[in-house]
Structure 1
Protein backbone atom coordinates (compact mmCIF):
# COMPACT_ATOMS: atom_id res chain seq x y z
CA UNK A 1 0.00 0.00 0.00
CA UNK A 2 1.18 3.53 -0.70
CA UNK A 3 1.62 5.90 2.24
CA UNK A 4 -1.29 7.49 4.04
CA UNK A 5 -1.67 10.91 5.64
CA UNK A 6 -4.45 10.91 8.27
CA UNK A 7 -5.27 13.95 10.38
CA UNK A 8 -7.15 14.26 13.65
CA UNK A 9 -9.14 17.46 14.20
CA UNK A 10 -11.39 18.88 16.89
CA UNK A 11 -11.95 21.62 19.42
CA UNK A 12 -10.17 21.90 22.75
CA UNK A 13 -10.69 18.84 24.93
CA UNK A 14 -12.19 16.66 22.21
CA UNK A 15 -9.81 13.81 23.04
CA UNK A 16 -8.27 13.54 19.58
CA UNK A 17 -4.69 13.44 20.88
CA UNK A 18 -5.44 10.52 23.18
CA UNK A 19 -7.20 8.58 20.43
CA UNK A 20 -4.38 9.30 17.97
CA UNK A 21 -1.83 7.74 20.31
CA UNK A 22 -4.02 4.68 20.83
CA UNK A 23 -4.52 4.28 17.08
CA UNK A 24 -0.74 4.48 16.64
CA UNK A 25 -0.22 1.75 19.25
CA UNK A 26 -2.77 -0.49 17.54
CA UNK A 27 -1.14 -0.01 14.14
CA UNK A 28 2.30 -0.73 15.59
CA UNK A 29 0.96 -3.96 17.09
CA UNK A 30 -0.32 -4.87 13.63
CA UNK A 31 3.17 -4.33 12.21
CA UNK A 32 2.39 -1.16 10.28
CA UNK A 33 4.98 1.54 9.60
CA UNK A 34 3.36 4.46 11.42
CA UNK A 35 4.40 7.71 13.08
CA UNK A 36 2.44 10.17 15.21
CA UNK A 37 3.10 13.88 14.88
CA UNK A 38 1.40 17.19 15.65
CA UNK A 39 0.81 20.75 14.52
CA UNK A 40 2.08 23.22 15.19
CA UNK A 41 5.26 21.24 15.67
CA UNK A 42 6.45 17.87 14.47
CA UNK A 43 10.02 18.96 13.65
CA UNK A 44 12.72 20.89 15.52
CA UNK A 45 12.08 24.19 13.74
CA UNK A 46 8.29 23.84 13.77
CA UNK A 47 8.32 23.07 17.52
CA UNK A 48 10.15 26.35 18.12
CA UNK A 49 7.48 28.19 16.13
CA UNK A 50 4.88 26.36 18.25
CA UNK A 51 6.40 27.84 21.39
CA UNK A 52 5.95 31.34 19.97
CA UNK A 53 2.37 30.76 18.78
CA UNK A 54 1.00 29.15 21.92
CA UNK A 55 2.89 31.11 24.59
CA UNK A 56 0.17 32.30 27.04
CA UNK A 57 2.02 35.61 27.38
CA UNK A 58 1.65 36.44 23.68
CA UNK A 59 -1.90 37.75 24.02
CA UNK A 60 -1.14 40.72 21.74
CA UNK A 61 -0.45 38.50 18.72
CA UNK A 62 -2.26 39.72 15.60
CA UNK A 63 -4.59 37.23 13.89
CA UNK A 64 -2.74 37.40 10.57
CA UNK A 65 0.61 36.99 12.31
CA UNK A 66 -0.80 33.89 13.97
CA UNK A 67 -2.04 32.50 10.63
CA UNK A 68 1.33 33.11 8.99
CA UNK A 69 3.22 31.44 11.82
CA UNK A 70 0.98 28.37 11.63
CA UNK A 71 1.54 28.16 7.88
CA UNK A 72 5.32 28.52 8.28
CA UNK A 73 5.44 25.77 10.91
CA UNK A 74 3.23 23.60 8.70
CA UNK A 75 5.56 23.94 5.73
CA UNK A 76 8.61 22.92 7.74
CA UNK A 77 6.73 20.03 9.32
CA UNK A 78 5.62 18.74 5.92
CA UNK A 79 9.02 18.75 4.27
CA UNK A 80 10.88 17.35 7.28
CA UNK A 81 8.43 14.82 8.69
CA UNK A 82 5.23 14.10 6.78
CA UNK A 83 6.29 13.88 3.14
CA UNK A 84 9.40 11.70 3.71
CA UNK A 85 7.42 9.14 5.71
CA UNK A 86 4.51 9.02 3.25
CA UNK A 87 6.93 8.62 0.34
CA UNK A 88 8.38 5.56 2.09
CA UNK A 89 4.91 4.02 2.19
CA UNK A 90 4.29 4.74 5.86
CA UNK A 91 1.23 6.03 7.68
CA UNK A 92 1.34 9.50 9.24
CA UNK A 93 -1.15 10.27 12.02
CA UNK A 94 -1.17 14.03 12.56
CA UNK A 95 -2.78 15.98 15.40
CA UNK A 96 -4.21 19.00 13.47
CA UNK A 97 -3.44 20.30 9.99
CA UNK A 98 -4.86 22.87 7.54
CA UNK A 99 -8.44 22.46 8.78
CA UNK A 100 -7.41 23.86 12.16
CA UNK A 101 -6.15 27.03 10.51
CA UNK A 102 -9.33 27.39 8.45
CA UNK A 103 -11.42 27.05 11.61
CA UNK A 104 -9.39 28.96 14.20
CA UNK A 105 -7.90 31.75 12.09
CA UNK A 106 -10.28 31.73 9.13
CA UNK A 107 -13.55 31.70 11.07
CA UNK A 108 -13.01 32.21 14.80
CA UNK A 109 -10.45 35.00 14.24
CA UNK A 110 -12.46 36.40 11.33
CA UNK A 111 -9.77 36.42 8.62
CA UNK A 112 -11.88 34.35 6.22
CA UNK A 113 -11.73 30.68 5.22
CA UNK A 114 -10.73 31.33 1.60
CA UNK A 115 -7.98 33.75 2.59
CA UNK A 116 -6.45 31.29 5.06
CA UNK A 117 -6.91 28.43 2.61
CA UNK A 118 -4.91 30.23 -0.09
CA UNK A 119 -2.11 30.94 2.38
CA UNK A 120 -1.96 27.30 3.37
CA UNK A 121 -2.17 25.95 -0.17
CA UNK A 122 0.98 27.97 -0.84
CA UNK A 123 2.64 26.52 2.27
CA UNK A 124 1.68 22.91 1.49
CA UNK A 125 1.87 23.11 -2.31
CA UNK A 126 -1.69 21.82 -2.34
CA UNK A 127 -1.07 18.74 -0.22
CA UNK A 128 -4.10 17.71 1.86
CA UNK A 129 -4.79 14.67 4.08
CA UNK A 130 -6.10 11.43 2.59
CA UNK A 131 -8.53 11.17 5.51
CA UNK A 132 -9.51 13.48 8.35
CA UNK A 133 -11.30 12.42 11.53
CA UNK A 134 -13.15 15.29 13.19
CA UNK A 135 -13.86 14.69 16.88
CA UNK A 136 -17.05 16.56 17.68
CA UNK A 137 -17.93 17.57 21.22
CA UNK A 138 -19.76 20.54 22.75
CA UNK A 139 -17.27 23.21 23.91
CA UNK A 140 -18.57 23.09 27.47
CA UNK A 141 -17.74 19.37 27.65
CA UNK A 142 -14.31 19.77 26.08
CA UNK A 143 -13.28 22.66 28.33
CA UNK A 144 -14.49 20.79 31.40
CA UNK A 145 -12.25 17.88 30.40
CA UNK A 146 -9.29 20.24 30.12
CA UNK A 147 -9.97 21.63 33.59
CA UNK A 148 -9.88 18.08 34.97
CA UNK A 149 -6.71 17.13 33.06
CA UNK A 150 -3.94 18.57 35.23
CA UNK A 151 -1.08 17.29 33.07
CA UNK A 152 -2.15 19.02 29.86
CA UNK A 153 -0.22 22.08 28.70
CA UNK A 154 -1.93 25.43 29.25
CA UNK A 155 -1.74 27.48 26.06
CA UNK A 156 -3.04 30.73 24.63
CA UNK A 157 -6.16 29.12 23.13
CA UNK A 158 -7.31 28.04 26.57
CA UNK A 159 -7.77 31.71 27.45
CA UNK A 160 -10.39 32.28 24.75
CA UNK A 161 -14.08 32.85 25.55
CA UNK A 162 -16.74 30.15 25.28
CA UNK A 163 -18.17 32.07 22.31
CA UNK A 164 -14.85 31.59 20.50
CA UNK A 165 -14.99 27.84 21.03
CA UNK A 166 -18.59 27.70 19.78
CA UNK A 167 -17.43 29.43 16.58
CA UNK A 168 -14.73 26.77 16.26
CA UNK A 169 -17.22 23.91 16.52
CA UNK A 170 -19.66 25.50 14.06
CA UNK A 171 -16.82 26.05 11.58
CA UNK A 172 -15.67 22.42 11.83
CA UNK A 173 -19.19 21.20 11.13
CA UNK A 174 -19.32 23.52 8.12
CA UNK A 175 -16.04 22.13 6.78
CA UNK A 176 -17.34 18.59 7.15
CA UNK A 177 -20.37 19.52 5.06
CA UNK A 178 -18.05 20.98 2.41
CA UNK A 179 -15.81 17.92 2.27
CA UNK A 180 -17.78 14.87 3.43
CA UNK A 181 -15.61 12.40 1.52
CA UNK A 182 -12.42 13.46 3.33
CA UNK A 183 -13.73 14.60 6.71
CA UNK A 184 -15.52 11.98 8.80
CA UNK A 185 -17.19 13.02 12.07
CA UNK A 186 -16.65 11.05 15.28
CA UNK A 187 -18.95 11.61 18.27
CA UNK A 188 -16.34 12.53 20.88
CA UNK A 189 -18.87 12.83 23.71
CA UNK A 190 -18.89 9.04 24.10
CA UNK A 191 -16.55 6.99 26.31
CA UNK A 192 -12.94 6.96 25.06
CA UNK A 193 -13.10 3.24 24.26
CA UNK A 194 -16.11 3.74 22.01
CA UNK A 195 -14.47 6.73 20.34
CA UNK A 196 -11.36 4.67 19.65
CA UNK A 197 -13.39 1.78 18.20
CA UNK A 198 -15.29 4.11 15.87
CA UNK A 199 -12.07 5.82 14.78
CA UNK A 200 -10.40 2.52 13.94
CA UNK A 201 -13.48 1.43 12.00
CA UNK A 202 -13.44 4.63 9.95
CA UNK A 203 -9.73 4.29 9.17
CA UNK A 204 -9.99 0.59 8.34
CA UNK A 205 -12.94 1.20 6.01
CA UNK A 206 -10.99 3.94 4.24
CA UNK A 207 -7.90 1.77 3.87
CA UNK A 208 -9.95 -1.11 2.46
CA UNK A 209 -11.67 1.19 0.00
CA UNK A 210 -8.34 2.65 -1.07
CA UNK A 211 -6.94 -0.78 -1.94
CA UNK A 212 -9.95 -1.93 -3.99
Structure 2
Protein backbone atom coordinates (compact mmCIF):
# COMPACT_ATOMS: atom_id res chain seq x y z
CA UNK A 1 0.00 0.00 0.00
CA UNK A 2 2.81 2.42 0.87
CA UNK A 3 4.55 1.64 -2.41
CA UNK A 4 1.32 2.39 -4.28
CA UNK A 5 1.05 5.75 -2.52
CA UNK A 6 4.63 6.52 -3.46
CA UNK A 7 3.83 5.79 -7.12
CA UNK A 8 0.80 8.07 -6.94
CA UNK A 9 2.93 10.95 -5.72
CA UNK A 10 1.09 11.40 -2.43
CA UNK A 11 3.66 9.96 -0.04
CA UNK A 12 7.25 11.26 0.32
CA UNK A 13 10.18 9.03 -0.59
CA UNK A 14 13.90 9.33 0.01
CA UNK A 15 15.20 11.56 -2.78
CA UNK A 16 18.63 9.97 -2.42
CA UNK A 17 17.50 6.59 -3.79
CA UNK A 18 19.78 5.70 -6.70
CA UNK A 19 17.20 3.76 -8.71
CA UNK A 20 13.64 5.01 -8.93
CA UNK A 21 10.71 2.64 -9.32
CA UNK A 22 8.42 2.76 -12.36
CA UNK A 23 5.56 5.28 -12.10
CA UNK A 24 7.51 7.48 -9.68
CA UNK A 25 6.64 11.13 -10.32
CA UNK A 26 9.76 13.23 -10.98
CA UNK A 27 10.77 16.72 -11.98
CA UNK A 28 13.70 17.30 -14.32
CA UNK A 29 16.20 19.56 -12.55
CA UNK A 30 18.95 18.85 -15.07
CA UNK A 31 22.69 18.22 -15.25
CA UNK A 32 25.34 18.75 -17.92
CA UNK A 33 23.82 15.95 -20.03
CA UNK A 34 20.22 17.15 -19.89
CA UNK A 35 18.64 18.94 -22.82
CA UNK A 36 17.60 22.44 -21.82
CA UNK A 37 13.98 22.12 -23.00
CA UNK A 38 13.44 19.18 -20.63
CA UNK A 39 14.42 21.12 -17.50
CA UNK A 40 11.45 22.01 -15.31
CA UNK A 41 9.15 19.39 -16.79
CA UNK A 42 7.40 16.77 -14.65
CA UNK A 43 7.29 13.17 -15.82
CA UNK A 44 6.89 9.51 -14.89
CA UNK A 45 9.72 7.02 -14.54
CA UNK A 46 9.02 4.03 -16.80
CA UNK A 47 12.32 2.17 -16.50
CA UNK A 48 16.04 2.40 -15.80
CA UNK A 49 19.42 1.13 -16.99
CA UNK A 50 21.89 -0.62 -14.72
CA UNK A 51 24.85 1.51 -15.79
CA UNK A 52 25.24 5.26 -15.55
CA UNK A 53 22.11 5.89 -13.50
CA UNK A 54 20.05 6.45 -16.63
CA UNK A 55 16.26 6.42 -16.26
CA UNK A 56 13.57 6.32 -18.93
CA UNK A 57 11.10 9.10 -18.24
CA UNK A 58 7.74 9.75 -19.90
CA UNK A 59 7.41 13.52 -20.21
CA UNK A 60 4.70 14.52 -22.66
CA UNK A 61 2.37 12.61 -24.97
CA UNK A 62 2.32 15.46 -27.50
CA UNK A 63 6.09 15.74 -27.94
CA UNK A 64 7.93 14.08 -30.84
CA UNK A 65 9.73 11.83 -28.36
CA UNK A 66 7.48 11.17 -25.33
CA UNK A 67 9.97 8.88 -23.53
CA UNK A 68 13.51 10.16 -22.98
CA UNK A 69 16.63 9.04 -21.10
CA UNK A 70 17.73 11.19 -18.17
CA UNK A 71 20.31 10.50 -15.46
CA UNK A 72 19.20 9.99 -11.88
CA UNK A 73 21.03 13.04 -10.52
CA UNK A 74 19.04 15.20 -12.94
CA UNK A 75 15.72 14.03 -11.46
CA UNK A 76 13.93 15.09 -8.29
CA UNK A 77 11.02 13.13 -6.85
CA UNK A 78 7.91 15.28 -6.51
CA UNK A 79 4.43 14.74 -5.06
CA UNK A 80 1.29 15.75 -6.93
CA UNK A 81 -1.48 13.18 -7.29
CA UNK A 82 -3.37 15.15 -9.93
CA UNK A 83 -0.29 15.45 -12.12
CA UNK A 84 0.50 11.77 -11.53
CA UNK A 85 -2.99 10.69 -12.69
CA UNK A 86 -2.77 12.88 -15.78
CA UNK A 87 0.61 11.46 -16.81
CA UNK A 88 -0.49 7.87 -16.14
CA UNK A 89 -3.47 8.35 -18.47
CA UNK A 90 -1.21 9.86 -21.13
CA UNK A 91 1.24 6.98 -20.78
CA UNK A 92 -1.57 4.45 -21.24
CA UNK A 93 -2.73 6.26 -24.39
CA UNK A 94 0.81 6.28 -25.75
CA UNK A 95 1.30 2.56 -25.11
CA UNK A 96 -2.06 1.74 -26.74
CA UNK A 97 -1.03 3.78 -29.77
CA UNK A 98 2.32 1.96 -29.97
CA UNK A 99 0.55 -1.41 -29.67
CA UNK A 100 -1.97 -0.61 -32.42
CA UNK A 101 0.78 0.72 -34.67
CA UNK A 102 2.79 -2.46 -34.22
CA UNK A 103 -0.23 -4.63 -35.06
CA UNK A 104 -0.88 -2.67 -38.26
CA UNK A 105 2.75 -3.04 -39.32
CA UNK A 106 2.56 -6.80 -38.81
CA UNK A 107 -0.64 -7.03 -40.88
CA UNK A 108 0.71 -4.84 -43.68
CA UNK A 109 4.09 -6.55 -43.81
CA UNK A 110 4.21 -9.11 -46.61
CA UNK A 111 5.70 -12.50 -45.74
CA UNK A 112 9.10 -13.03 -47.35
CA UNK A 113 9.87 -16.60 -46.33
CA UNK A 114 8.07 -18.37 -49.19
CA UNK A 115 9.41 -15.88 -51.73
CA UNK A 116 12.95 -16.52 -50.55
CA UNK A 117 12.47 -20.28 -50.84
CA UNK A 118 11.15 -19.95 -54.39
CA UNK A 119 14.07 -17.75 -55.41
CA UNK A 120 16.56 -20.18 -53.88
CA UNK A 121 15.14 -23.12 -55.81
CA UNK A 122 14.82 -21.12 -59.04
CA UNK A 123 18.45 -20.04 -58.78
CA UNK A 124 19.34 -23.66 -58.11
CA UNK A 125 17.59 -24.78 -61.28
CA UNK A 126 19.59 -22.30 -63.36
CA UNK A 127 22.84 -23.72 -62.00
CA UNK A 128 22.34 -27.20 -63.48
CA UNK A 129 21.97 -28.69 -66.98
CA UNK A 130 20.43 -31.91 -68.13
CA UNK A 131 22.64 -34.02 -70.39
CA UNK A 132 22.04 -37.59 -71.57
CA UNK A 133 19.63 -38.45 -68.73
CA UNK A 134 22.15 -37.40 -66.09
CA UNK A 135 22.28 -34.21 -64.10
CA UNK A 136 25.66 -32.52 -64.53
CA UNK A 137 26.24 -29.68 -62.07
CA UNK A 138 28.00 -26.66 -63.59
CA UNK A 139 31.14 -25.11 -62.14
CA UNK A 140 29.01 -23.04 -59.78
CA UNK A 141 27.58 -26.02 -57.91
CA UNK A 142 29.87 -25.60 -54.91
CA UNK A 143 28.51 -22.10 -54.36
CA UNK A 144 24.90 -23.24 -54.57
CA UNK A 145 23.32 -23.20 -51.14
CA UNK A 146 20.63 -25.76 -51.96
CA UNK A 147 23.16 -28.20 -53.38
CA UNK A 148 25.31 -27.85 -50.27
CA UNK A 149 22.27 -28.50 -48.07
CA UNK A 150 21.48 -31.70 -49.95
CA UNK A 151 25.08 -32.81 -49.57
CA UNK A 152 24.69 -32.67 -45.80
CA UNK A 153 21.70 -35.01 -45.72
CA UNK A 154 22.07 -38.73 -45.13
CA UNK A 155 21.46 -41.26 -47.91
CA UNK A 156 18.39 -42.46 -46.02
CA UNK A 157 16.84 -38.98 -46.07
CA UNK A 158 17.54 -38.59 -49.78
CA UNK A 159 16.05 -42.01 -50.50
CA UNK A 160 12.90 -41.19 -48.53
CA UNK A 161 12.49 -38.02 -50.55
CA UNK A 162 12.67 -39.99 -53.80
CA UNK A 163 10.17 -42.53 -52.48
CA UNK A 164 7.82 -39.78 -51.29
CA UNK A 165 7.64 -38.25 -54.78
CA UNK A 166 7.95 -41.55 -56.71
CA UNK A 167 11.14 -40.49 -58.42
CA UNK A 168 12.75 -43.17 -60.63
CA UNK A 169 16.06 -44.61 -59.44
CA UNK A 170 18.32 -47.04 -61.26
CA UNK A 171 19.58 -50.18 -59.58
CA UNK A 172 22.84 -49.73 -57.75
CA UNK A 173 22.43 -45.96 -57.70
CA UNK A 174 25.05 -43.86 -55.99
CA UNK A 175 24.67 -40.92 -53.64
CA UNK A 176 25.41 -38.38 -56.38
CA UNK A 177 22.62 -39.83 -58.50
CA UNK A 178 20.20 -39.35 -55.59
CA UNK A 179 21.17 -35.70 -55.28
CA UNK A 180 20.99 -35.11 -59.04
CA UNK A 181 17.55 -36.73 -59.23
CA UNK A 182 16.22 -34.48 -56.47
CA UNK A 183 17.74 -31.38 -58.05
CA UNK A 184 16.12 -32.24 -61.37
CA UNK A 185 12.82 -32.68 -59.54
CA UNK A 186 13.22 -29.16 -58.12
CA UNK A 187 13.85 -27.81 -61.59
CA UNK A 188 10.56 -29.10 -63.03
CA UNK A 189 8.64 -26.01 -61.93
CA UNK A 190 5.96 -26.56 -64.56
CA UNK A 191 4.75 -29.68 -62.74
CA UNK A 192 6.01 -29.18 -59.20
CA UNK A 193 5.06 -26.53 -56.68
CA UNK A 194 8.49 -25.63 -55.33
CA UNK A 195 7.26 -24.49 -51.93
CA UNK A 196 5.15 -27.60 -51.36
CA UNK A 197 8.05 -29.75 -52.51
CA UNK A 198 10.40 -28.28 -49.94
CA UNK A 199 7.81 -28.42 -47.15
CA UNK A 200 7.12 -32.09 -47.86
CA UNK A 201 10.84 -32.77 -48.11
CA UNK A 202 11.46 -31.25 -44.69
CA UNK A 203 8.56 -33.22 -43.24
CA UNK A 204 10.06 -36.46 -44.53
CA UNK A 205 13.51 -35.61 -43.20
CA UNK A 206 12.11 -34.82 -39.76
CA UNK A 207 10.67 -38.34 -39.61
CA UNK A 208 14.05 -39.99 -40.17
TM-score class, shorter-chain normalisation, is: under 0.3
Q: What TM-score results when the alignment is normalised by the length of structure 1?
A: 0.19
Query: Relative contact order (C-alpha < 8 Å, sep 6+): which is higher?
Result: 1
More helix by percentage: 1
Decide which structure has the larger Cα Rg and report it: 2
